[in-house]
Chain A
Amino acid sequence: MSQSYSADEMMTVAAARMLRNGAVCFVGIGLPSTAANLARLTHAPDAVLIYESGPIGAKPSVLPLSIGDGNLAETADTVVSTPEIFRYWLQGGRIDVGFLGAAQLDRYANINTTVVGSYERPKVRLPGAGGAPEISSSAKEVLIVVKQSKRTFVDKVDFVTSVGYLTGGDSRERAGLPGKGPVAVITDLCILRPDPVTRELMVATLHPGVTRDRIVASTGWPVQFSAECEETEAPRETELAVLRDLKARTAAAHGETGDGA
C-alpha cells in the first residue's frame, strides 16, 4: 500500500491531535513545537503555547529554530523572564500539558537526555536536562513525541533525566510528584499509553501500514499491545496541507532546511 504521507508526518499529526483546544501547553523545541503549532493551526486555535525562554501565548508564523526566536516574542500575548516562566507559570501549577521529546525512553516513560554510557565516562554526551525535569513533574499531563527505534526505546535508560512513572505501579504518586505524568507517547510507528495499573507503556494504536513485528523490532523491551489496539486514523488532507504549508514557510524563513528541530 503506498501512502501519500511520510511516517514523520503521521507522527506529527497524531501528536497534534492530542492537544485539546484551550489547553495551556509548555512546548519543547523540535518535534513538540511542530506538533503544538500544527494543533494551533488546525483544531486547537485557542491552545496557549508557552516556551521556556519567556513567551506566553506564542503564535509563531514559522517554526522556531531555537527556543528563543524573535518570532515567538513578537507573536506572544506577553513575554516574561525565564525565572518567572519556571516559578510562577510551571511550578505555579498553570500548565495543562507539557510537550516533550526524548533521546532515550524506557517502558515507564522515564526520559534520558543526559548521557549514553556512564555519567563519568560518557560514550555520548547529550545536551542535558533543560526544562524537562520540572516540566515532566509539574505539568498536569505530559505528551512525549519521539521517533521509535531500539536505540531510543531501551530496556533501561542510561540516566533518568526526567521522570515518567519511575519503576511503575504507584511509584510516581508515592514520590509525591504534582503532575499526573505521561499520558501518551507518540512515535512514527504507533501511539503508546501507560497501562492504568502497571503504568508500563502499551501500544494503543498502530499507524496505518505498520505491523506488530515492526514495533517489536523497534522496541528494546518486550513491548505489549493493549487488547483494544486499533489503527491510528491516517492524516487528513487538511492536516497534511497545513503541516506542509507550515514547513514550507519555515524552510523559506530559515534557509535550506525546514525541520524546525
Chain B
Amino acid sequence: MAEWMSLADAIREHVHDGDCVAMEGFTHLIPFAAGHEVIRQRRRNLTLVRMTPDLIYDQMIGAGCAARLMFSWGGNPGVGSLHRFRDAVENNWPAPLAIEERSHSDLANAYVAGAANLPFAVLRGYTGSDLPRVNDRIRTIACPFTGEVLAATPSVRPDVTVIHAQKADWKGNVLLWGILGVQKEAVLAARRVVITVEERVPQLHAPQNACILPAWVVNAVCEVPRGATPSYAHGYYERDNVFYRAWDRIARERETFVRWMEQHVLSTSDFAEYLALQQDAAVQAVYR
C-alpha cells in the first residue's frame, strides 16, 4: 500500500546497491528528481533499465551508480550523443558499463511480459539484424501451431521501478496522462514501486479508462513539484530544450561534468535546492 514519504526516504528504503532499477518515462515525465536522489545517496552497482537512457541515466552513469545498462536507444534526443554513456562504453569511465542492447519493440514487449508475469516476450523482430549476434538473450522460438520462427527475449522484472506522474490523491492512487510510454507496464513488472508526483490532491477527478495506478500497487509516493524537469509534465510545464542542449556542453568533458554534478546534485540537499540553483543566472552562465 502506498505510503506518502519524502523522496530521500523513499530512495533510502526502496533502492538498494546492486538492484535492477527501471526509471521510465518516454521523453515525457522522466523522474529526474529521483535520479538525482539516487546519485546523492551514492547508490552503486545498479543494473539500469530504460528504453531511452536520456540525460537521467547519462547523469547516473557518469556519477558511477551503474554497473549494467539495458536499453534500446541511447542518444540525447534532438541534440546528439550521451557523452557520459559513451565515455563509459568506449573508455570504461568512471567504471566499466556492461550493456544489454535491445530494440524499442523488444523492450516494450519485455515490460508487457514482465507485467503479465511471463518469463519471456515473443515478437516478430530482429530478422537479419546483428543485434542477436551481440546479445545472446535475444533468441528464437518456433510457434507451436504454425512453426513460424519468432524472436523471444527475457521479460523485464525490475527490483524497483521509479516513475513520475502528474497527480496522486491522499491515499496514493496515481494518475498520469499524455505520452504514457511504458510506465504502467514498468510499474506492474516491478517488485517495488516509487512514484513522484507534481501534486497531491484531495481527489483525482479522472475520467473512466484514465491511466491510474492504484495505491495498492505502489510502495512509496512523494510530492516533488517539477520533479521531471528538464523533461516535461503535460499540463504543468514544458520540456527544457535549452537544458538538453546545454547538457551536451556540460557532459562532453569529464571535468565540467564532475564540477556540475558536485555543485548541482551532490552539494544540494534536495530537488528544490537544485531547482533554485538552476534559476541562479550567475551559476548557470558558466554552463550555458
Q: Do A and B bind each other?
A: yes
- Is A66 within 8 A of B109, CB to CB? no
Residues of B within 8 A of A133 (CB): 103, 105, 125-126, 129, 131
**Pair B127/A29 contact, Cβ less than 8 Å:** no
Query: Does A18 sit within 8 A of B, measured CB to CB?
Result: no
Asked if residues A160 and B104 are in contact (CB atoms below 8 Å), the reply is: no
Determine whether B242 belongs to the interface, using a CB cutoff of 8 Å to chain A. Answer: yes
Q: Which residues of A lie under 8 Å from residue B51 when comparing CB positions?
A: 82
The size bracket of the interface on B is 35 or more
Nearest CB to that of B233 among chain A residues?
A70
Q: A73 touching B178 by the CB < 8 A rule?
A: yes
Q: Which of chain B's residues 132-150 have a Cβ closer than 8 Å to chain A?
A: 134, 149
Residues in chain A near residue B71, CB distance under 8 A: 128
Q: Would you call B181 and A122 a contact (CB within 8 A)?
A: no
Chain B nearest CB from A77 CB (Å) reads 14
Contacts A70-B239, A137-B128, A162-B129; A83 near B109 (Cβ below 8 A):
yes
> For B26, what are the chain A residues with a Cβ–Cβ distance below 8 Å?
53-54, 67-68, 82
Contacting pair A65 B124 (CB below 8 A): no
Closest beta carbon of chain A to B16's beta carbon, Å: 28
Q: Which A residue's beta carbon lies closest to that of B29?
A: A68
Residues of A within 8 A of B239 (CB): 65-66, 69-70
- Please choose the segment from A85-93, A206-214, A236-244 that sits at the chain B interface, where 4 or more of its residues have CB less than 8 A away: A85-93
Residues of B within 8 A of A132 (CB): 103
Task: List A contacts of B86 (CB < 8 A).
Answer: 125
Tell whether, in the assembled complex, residue A87 and residue B108 are in contact, meaning their CB atoms are under 8 Å apart: yes
Distance in Å: Cβ of A259 to nearest Cβ of chain B: 8
Known: A29-B77, A87-B112, A128-B72. A255 touches B245 (CB 8 A): yes
Contact of B232 among A54, A70, A122 (CB under 8 A): A70
Interface size on A, residues (CB 8 A): 59
Shortest B176–chain A CB gap in Å is 11
Task: Give residues of chain A (113-138) contacting chain B, Cβ–Cβ below 8 Å.
Answer: 114, 119, 122, 124-134, 137-138
Q: Does B238 contact A (CB under 8 A)?
A: yes
- On whether the beta carbons of B101 and A81 are closer than 8 Å, the reply is no
Q: Does B283 contact A (CB under 8 A)?
A: no
Residues in B with CB closer than 8 Å to A126 are: 75
With A29-B78, A177-B128, A254-B241 in contact, do A127 and B73 touch (Cβ < 8 Å)? yes
Chain B proximity of A236: nearest CB distance (Å)? 28
> Which A residues, 11 to 55, have Cβ-Cβ distances below 8 Å to chain B?
29-30, 52-55
The answer to the question of A143 belonging to the interface, with a C-beta cut-off of 8 Å to chain B, is no
- In residues 70-103 of chain B, which contact A (Cβ within 8 Å)? 71-75, 77-79, 81-82, 85-86, 89-90, 101-103
Q: What are the 10 closest A-B residue pairs judged by CB atoms, nearest first?
A: A68-B27, A127-B75, A163-B128, A66-B77, A65-B78, A130-B73, A134-B105, A86-B105, A83-B108, A131-B104
28 CB < 8 A contacts A-B: A53-B27, A68-B77, A68-B181, A70-B239, A73-B28, A82-B181, A82-B182, A87-B105, A87-B108, A87-B123, A90-B105, A91-B125, A119-B134, A125-B89, A127-B81, A128-B71, A128-B74, A129-B72, A129-B103, A129-B131, A130-B72, A133-B125, A133-B129, A159-B130, A160-B128, A160-B129, A163-B128, A163-B129
